[in-house]
Amino acid sequence: MTAASPALAGPHQQFETQIRWRSIEFVFWLATLLPFVVTPDYLVLASQIAVTALFALSLDLILGYAGIVSLGHAAFFGFGAYTAGLISKWGWGEPLTGLVISGIAAGLLGYLMSFVIARFRHLALIMITLGFGLLLLEAANSASWLTGGADGLQGVKMWPLLGLFRFDLYGVTAYWYALIVLFVFFLMARRLINSPFGLALRGIRENAVRMRAIGAESRPHIRKIYTLSAVMAGVAGAVLTQTTETVSLGVLDFQRSADILVILILGGTGRLYGGLIGAIIYMIARDWFSGVNPQYWYFPIGVLLIAVVLFLPNGILGGVAQLINTGRGQRWFGWATSPPTWMSSWMRGPRP
């Protein structure tokens, strides 16, 4: 991202340059307040976008920074959602403590799972995350005495936030709540990835074998980031439960895992803001098309996915960054030295 004069500056200065807030970031976060003024009728949608953005951010931590592919991340989202719903159903409707408990519960599950995740890569990893997600979905479906099964969890009632703000029909409290939770976790994620720990993660993503060779064991790092990511996904699920006061099996669906992956890839991985931008575009587009048959909705998403993989390897944000750089007369990202793989293969045909 910020290519800070790396040759001369010491490591501390480099971190400081990376961590400094840029003006575009201030603009972005101020713009998130716009829905209160401009589109007050769409605050419920806005709060769902914030939830989705937090979920995408949690996936970005493991996929974009540590390079762990997950096809079952909805497991933690759903686990947090059901935990928050059950706490409220059992008579404790206080939102903030419910949020903390759900985050911890999802984090514990993530911690247990991380021991498995850290051992596998490639196809086995994809299959294990997929299987784990499906396993949890089937478990929630079967345990209908606890979760309500296919009918969803009934009787979720939230108390007013801080004892003052009731969750209203228009979603004013809901959006404030979701936005603040998103912002707090964004700050944590931003601090985390601009630390030596974040640097180590990127090293694992680029070359796990070499990281071990230089003495940085990768598995403890993977376990830590995976647990943190699970906490964040669980919190996102809990916010969804608390703001909508319903939980259904859809929170654990494979579709949700696939959607969040699509959102993150569309926005751009490994950029923090990629998931946020992707969530905004995806959710608004889906709201527009909500009248049509849901199966037709797959068409533009599928075409977008294919296009992103073939033409925009770094997502929308990566494409924008490239455009800005060419506009300034600079060369594209590493373009002069190594053109993107898809481009070279497109021009020369498949490599031998």
Q: Does 207 bind other proteins (CB under 8 A)?
A: no
**Closer to other proteins at the Cβ: 95 or 270?**
270
Residue 328 binds other proteins, judged by CB under 8 A:
no
Is residue 203 close enough to count as binding other proteins by CB under 8 A? Answer: no
Q: In whole angstroms, what is the distance from residue 229 CA to residue 231 CA?
A: 5
Burial class (CB in 10 A: 0-12, 13-18, 19+), 149: middle
Site size for other proteins (CB under 8 A): 50
Whichever of 175 and 282 has its CB closer to other proteins, that residue is 282
- Whose CA is closest to 49, among 234, 284, 233? 284
Residue span 48-77 as binding mask against other proteins, x where in contact by CB under 8 A, dash where not? ---------------x-----x-x------
Q: Rounded to whole angstroms, what are the CA distances from 290 to 28, 279, 293? A: 26, 16, 8
Q: Which of 1, 9, 38, 127 binds other proteins (CB under 8 A)?
A: 127
The 3-state DSSP class for residue 165 equals strand
Which residues are within 8 A (CB) of 150 and not within 5 positions of it... i.e. 6 or more apart?
A: 141, 144, 249
Give phi and psi for 134, each to the nearest 5: -65, -35
Q: Rule CB under 8 A: which of 209-268 touch other proteins?
A: 254, 258, 261-262, 265
User: Do residues 72 and 130 touch, judged by C-beta distance below 8 A?
Assistant: yes
Contact call for residue 297 and other proteins (CB under 8 A): yes
Nearer to other proteins, 127 or 162 (CB): 127
CB of 73 to other proteins, least distance (A): 13
Residue 145 binds other proteins (CB under 8 A): no
Beta carbons of 238 and 149 less than 8 angstroms apart: no
Give the CA angle between residues 280, 286, 288 to the nearest 5°: 105
Stretch that binds other proteins, among 26-34, 154-162, 171-179, 341-349 (CB under 8 A): 341-349
CB 80 within 8 A of CB 105: yes
Q: How many helices (H) and strands (E) does the chain have?
A: 17, 0
Report if residue 150 touches other proteins, rule: CB under 8 A: no
Binder among 26, 92, 298, 311 for other proteins (CB under 8 A): 298
Least distance in angstroms from the C-beta of 114 to other proteins: 14
> Closest by alpha carbon to 277, among 319, 214, 245?
319
Q: Note whether 130 binds other proteins by CB under 8 A.
A: yes
Q: Please work out, in degrees rounded to the nearest 5, the angle formed at the alpha carbon of residue 66 by the alpha carbons of 208 and 188.
A: 140
Task: Give the residue from 6, 260, 219, 1 showing the smallest Cα distance to 116.
Answer: 219
Range 154-193, binding other proteins (CB under 8 A): none
CB of 210 to other proteins, least distance (A): 17
Residues of this chain that bind other proteins (CB under 8 A): 63, 69, 71, 116, 119-124, 126-128, 130-132, 134-135, 138-139, 141-142, 254, 258, 261-262, 265, 293, 295-299, 301-306, 308-310, 313, 341-342, 345-346, 350-352
